[in-house]
Amino acid sequence: MPRTSPLDALRFSFGTLTVFPVRVTRWDREAARGGMLCAPLAGLAVGAAAAAVGLGLLFLGAGGPLAAVATVAVPAVLTRGLHLDGLADTADGLGSGKPAEDALRIMKQSDIGPFGVLTLVLALLAQVAALAQAYDASWARGACAAVVSATVARLALTLAARARVPAARPEGLGAAVAGVVPVRGALLAGVAVTGAAAAVAAVFGPYDVARTVLAVLLSLAAAEALLRHCTRRFGGITGDVFGGLAETAATTALVVLALG
C-alpha distance from residue 11 to each of 25, 39, 138, 240 (Å): 7, 10, 35, 21
CA nearest neighbour of 123 among 81, 174, 156: 81
Residue 2 pLDDT level (bands cut at 50, 70, 90): low
SS3 content of the chain, % helix, strand, coil (to 5): 75, 0, 20
Q: How far is CA 252 from CA 6, 119, 127, 225, 259, in A?
A: 30, 14, 9, 12, 11
Return the SS3 of 45. helix
| Cβ atoms of 201 and 212 closer than 8 Å | yes
Q: Are 16 and 35 in contact (CB under 8 A)?
A: yes
Q: Quick one: how far is CA 38 from the chain centroid? A: 13
Q: Closest by alpha carbon to 152, among 31, 65, 253, 71?
A: 253
**172 pLDDT exceeds 90?**
no
Average pLDDT value for the chain: 94
Calpha distance 187→4 (Å, rounded): 20
Neighbouring C-beta atoms of residue 25, cutoff 10 Å? 12
Q: How many other CB atoms are found less than 10 A from the CB of residue 28?
A: 14
Residue 132 has pLDDT above 60, yes or no: yes
- Among the listed ranges 54-58, 166-170, 247-251, which one has the minimum average pLDDT value? 166-170
pLDDT digits (tens, 9 = 90+) for 176-235: 899 999 999 999 999 999 999 999 999 999 999 999 999 999 999 999 999 999 999 999
